């Protein structure tokens, strides 16, 4: 046998063991001919696949699967694998019970008759499904439960009567009862004080509640205004986020730099103008001499008056000057000064 063949057989065997183990964990025994029964419930109380199926405490099968009924979601279908060597009557009940206080679940097959032939349930048949609570599952018959409760009641009553008649006030139990009584008295006083406090504070509480109600009413009445304010704030925030603040600051800085340069230029111009004015006042140069020489000023003033006199005479006596143009000798001197230029 080749190496590849041995590896193939080993892999097939491993797969078979894996499949058999998986089915066993799901409650399916593939090595025996089990019956497959169904039961319908409205509440399975967390019953799970692989939970046991019991008969008088003996495990005779396992729960195979749990799922909702296709045409009625309010119903749950439970599939059970039961030992095929047993004869299960058709009227058997599949009762979901609790196996302990920790929440374990199982299905109890309840039947007391022996069946044969057509009276026995066949594979794929439906059994009647029922459920029991924790107390019913642990106690069983309700009559037994009532008897158990009655016994406990009688025992507790006898114990209380015995304690009430025999407890000494100086003993530890007596002191305990006395402390308990004092505690109850203090509790009663405390509740009385609480009642008074609530009675005295009722008016204040009612006024506070009315104030709160008024406040909530005002808020509800101005809800639209508050919404508008919040919308405006949101819009302003969005506008500020969209604005290029860095670019704006950069432009402002550039403008300030330009203004600084202009101010420096203006300062330089003022300095130069001040220097010119200083030179003019210091009688240096032509402008300084013109501004500060009084004799020159008087001469210029006299020249100006002479020019004014001449132009006035030309305007008043133009015939005198036409002779000059015609090359004739003037016989009369200019002795009179017009009135408008005497001043």
37 alpha carbon, distance to own chain's centre: 52
Residue 259 lies in a domain: no
Number of structural domains found in the chain: 3
CA 298/CA 276 separation, integer angstroms: 25
Q: Identify any residues that bridge with 41 across adjacent strands, giving them in sequence order.
A: 76
Do 159 and 174 belong together in one domain?
A: no
Q: Are 53 and 61 in contact (CB under 8 A)?
A: yes
Q: What is the mean pLDDT of residues 318-335?
A: 61
**318-326 and 294-316 are packed helices; what angle lies between their axes, rounded to 10 degrees?**
90
Do 94 and 158 belong together in one domain?
A: no
Do 36 and 128 belong together in one domain?
A: yes
pLDDT value at 147 more than 70: no
- CA distances, 124 to each of 37, 128, 201 (Å): 5, 13, 72
Residue 334 lies in a domain: no
CA 37/CA 86 separation, integer angstroms: 13
pLDDT value at 296 more than 90: no
CA 41/CA 69 separation, integer angstroms: 10
> What's the confidence (pLDDT) of residue 198?
73
Residues above pLDDT 70, as percent of the chain: 72
**Average pLDDT across the chain, whole number:** 78
Do 51 and 120 belong together in one domain?
A: yes
Q: Of 39, 32, 95, which is closest to residue 65 (Cα–Cα)?
A: 39
pLDDT: which is higher, 307 or 149 = 307
Residue 99 lies in a domain: yes
Q: Domain end: 216, 243, 270, which one?
A: 243
Residue 312 lies in a domain: no
> What's the confidence (pLDDT) of residue 339?
55
Do 239 and 195 belong together in one domain?
A: yes
> What's the confidence (pLDDT) of residue 284?
64
Residue 293 lies in a domain: no
Tell me the range of 173-182, 246-255, 303-312 where mean pLDDT is highest.
Answer: 303-312
Do 148 and 194 belong together in one domain?
A: no
> What's the confidence (pLDDT) of residue 61?
92
- Rg (C-alpha) for the chain, rounded Å, is 63
pLDDT value at 101 more than 90: no
pLDDT digit string (tens) for 205-251? Answer: 777 877 877 778 787 788 888 888 888 887 877 776 666 666 777 78
Residue by residue, DSSP assigns 258-319 as: HHHHHHHHHHHHHHHHHHHHHHHHTT-HHHHHHHH-HHHHHHHHHHHHHHHHHHHHHHH-HH
Q: Are 51 and 62 in contact (CB under 8 A)?
A: yes
Do 74 and 148 belong together in one domain?
A: no
Do 153 and 209 belong together in one domain?
A: no
Do 88 and 171 belong together in one domain?
A: no
Tokens of 182: 């004092």
Residue 295 lies in a domain: no
Categorize the per-residue pLDDT at 149 as very low, low, confident or very high, splitting at 50, 70 and 90. low
CA 270/CA 262 separation, integer angstroms: 12
Residue by residue, DSSP assigns 70-82 as: TTEEEEEEEEEEE
> What's the confidence (pLDDT) of residue 94?
94
Residue 64 lies in a domain: yes
**Which residues are within 8 A (CB) of 136 and not within 5 positions of it... i.e. 6 or more apart?**
97, 142, 145
Tokens of 18: 């894996």
Q: Are 23 and 30 in contact (CB under 8 A)?
A: yes
Q: Are 91 and 36 in contact (CB under 8 A)?
A: no
pLDDT value at 13 more than 70: yes
Tokens of 54: 């019991």
What count of Cα atoms within 13 Å lies in the side-chain half-sphere of residue 258?
6
Element (H, E) at 69: strand 58-69
User: What residue numbers bound the domain in which 78 lies?
Assistant: 32-132
What count of Cα atoms within 13 Å lies in the side-chain half-sphere of residue 298?
3
Do 36 and 70 belong together in one domain?
A: yes
Q: Domain end: 243, 261, 285, which one?
A: 243
Residue 1 neighbours by CB distance under 10 Å:
6
Phi, psi of 108 (to 5 degrees): -105, 120
Q: Identify any residues that bridge with 107 across adjacent strands, giving them in sequence order.
A: 53, 96
Tell me the range of 134-148, 166-180, 268-282 where mean pLDDT is highest.
Answer: 268-282
Element (H, E) at 226: helix 223-242
Task: Report the predicted TM-score, pTM, of the whole model to 2 decimal places.
Answer: 0.38
The mean-pLDDT minimum among 156-170, 218-232, 306-320 falls in 156-170
pLDDT digit string (tens) for 102-124? Answer: 768 999 999 988 898 888 999 99
Categorize the per-residue pLDDT at 146 as very low, low, confident or very high, splitting at 50, 70 and 90. low
Q: What is the mean pLDDT of residues 316-327?
A: 71
Do 36 and 97 belong together in one domain?
A: yes
Q: Domain end: 203, 221, 243, which one?
A: 243
CA 102/CA 138 separation, integer angstroms: 12
pLDDT value at 159 more than 70: no
Phi, psi of 295 (to 5 degrees): -65, -40
> What's the confidence (pLDDT) of residue 92?
93
Residue by residue, DSSP assigns 310-331 as: HHHHHHH-HHHHHHHHHTPPP-
Do 80 and 147 belong together in one domain?
A: no
pLDDT digit string (tens) for 37-95? Answer: 999 999 998 899 989 999 998 999 999 999 999 999 999 999 999 988 889 999 999 99
Residue 175 lies in a domain: yes
């Amino acid at each position: 046998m080749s190496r590849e063949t041995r590896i193939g057989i080993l892999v097939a065997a491993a797969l078979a063991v894996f499949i058999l183990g998986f089915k066993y964990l799901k409650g399916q025994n593939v090595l025996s001919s089990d019956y497959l029964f169904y039961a319908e419930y409205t509440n399975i109380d967390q019953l799970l696949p692989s939970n046991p199926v019991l008969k008088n405490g003996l495990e005779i099968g396992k729960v195979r699967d749990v799922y909702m009924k296709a045409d009625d979601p309010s119903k749950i279908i439970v599939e059970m694998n039961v030992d095929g060597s047993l004869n299960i009557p058709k009227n058997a009940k599949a009762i979901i019970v609790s196996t302990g206080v920790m929440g374990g679940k199982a299905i109890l097959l309840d039947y007391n008759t022996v069946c044969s032939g057509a009276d026995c349930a066949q594979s794929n048949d439906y059994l009647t499904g029922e459920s029991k609570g924790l107390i019913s599952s642990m106690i069983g018959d309700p009559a037994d439960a009532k008897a158990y409760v009655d016994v406990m009641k009688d025992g507790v009553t006898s114990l209380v009567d015995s304690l009430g008649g025999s407890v000494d006030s100086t003993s530890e139990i007596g002191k305990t009862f006395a402390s308990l009584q004092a505690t109850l008295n203090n509790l009663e006083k405390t509740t009385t004080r609480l009642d008074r406090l609530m009675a005295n504070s009722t008016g204040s509480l009612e006024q506070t509640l009315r104030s709160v109600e008024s406040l909530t009413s005002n808020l509800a009445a101005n809800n639209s205004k508050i919404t508008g304010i919040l919308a405006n704030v949101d819009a302003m925030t969005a506008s500020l986020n969209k604005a290029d603040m860095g670019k704006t600051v950069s432009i402002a800085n550039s403008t300030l730099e330009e203004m600084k340069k202009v101010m420096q230029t203006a300062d330089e111009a003022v300095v130069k103008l001040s220097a010119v004015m200083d030179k003019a006042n210091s009688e240096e140069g032509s402008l300084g001499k013109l501004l500060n020489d009084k004799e020159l000023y008087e001469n210029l003033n006299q020249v100006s008056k002479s020019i004014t006199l001449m132009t006035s005479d030309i305007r008043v006596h133009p015939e005198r000057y036409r002779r000059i143009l015609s090359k004739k000798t003037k016989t009369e001197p200019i002795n009179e000064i017009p009135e408008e230029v005497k001043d």
